[in-house]
Amino acid sequence: MTRFRIKQAAELLGVSDDTLRRWADSGRLETTVDAAGRRAVEGTVLARFAEELAAQAPIEEPRRITGRSARNRFTGLVTKVTKDTVMAQVELQAGPFRVVSLMSREAADELKLAPGVLAVAVVKSTNVVVETPDA
């Protein structure tokens, strides 16, 4: 089972260590103790909590883009993996963003993807649909 130390978990959620500790102290987030006696969060618990936070997060207005990259990287936690005999659908919660990837089952197995595992979604697309919000 994957475990994250408080600092790692806080970084993944985009909050301070102190905020995460307050959530744990108040019972909002379940923690455990690792082999070294340090406080930690189970990966599956953290993934579920990340989904809950994302559902509560307000949607921000689009900002003016000042930099660009050919590749976009979203670091987050795997929240769900659905496999059949050939393919796998992997869901990743990266802050308030849910990223879904379709890949071969073999690739998902080799990467040992499961809820609570830290992963990075790298997005590079030759076909991107762009929409503009109402003014």
Q: What pLDDT shows up at residue 77?
A: 95
Q: What pLDDT shows up at residue 64?
A: 72
The one-letter code for the residue type at 125 is S
Q: What pLDDT shows up at residue 4?
A: 94
Residue 129 lies in a domain: no
Alpha-carbon radius of gyration of the chain: 17
User: Domain total for the chain?
Assistant: 2
Q: Which domain holds residue 19?
A: 3-43
Residue 9 lies in a domain: yes
Same domain, residue pair 76 and 39: no
Q: What pLDDT shows up at residue 1?
A: 72
Per-residue pLDDT of 23-49, as tens digits, reads: 999 999 999 998 899 999 999 999 999
Question: pLDDT at residue 123 above 90?
Answer: no
Are the C-beta atoms of residues 10 and 20 closer than 8 Å to each other? yes
Residue 90 lies in a domain: yes
Q: What pLDDT shows up at residue 62?
A: 64
Written as six digits, the tokens of 27 are: 């019972």
Per-residue pLDDT of 64-117, as tens digits, reads: 756 555 567 888 999 999 999 999 999 999 988 899 999 999 999 999 999 999
Over range 56-64, report the average pLDDT: 71
Residue 51 lies in a domain: no
Q: What is the CATH number of the domain that holds 83?
A: 2.40.50.100
Question: pLDDT at residue 135 above 80?
Answer: no
Residue 93 lies in a domain: yes
88: Cβ contacts below 8 Å, ≥ 6 apart: 81, 82, 102, 103, 104, 105, 107, 108, 109, 113
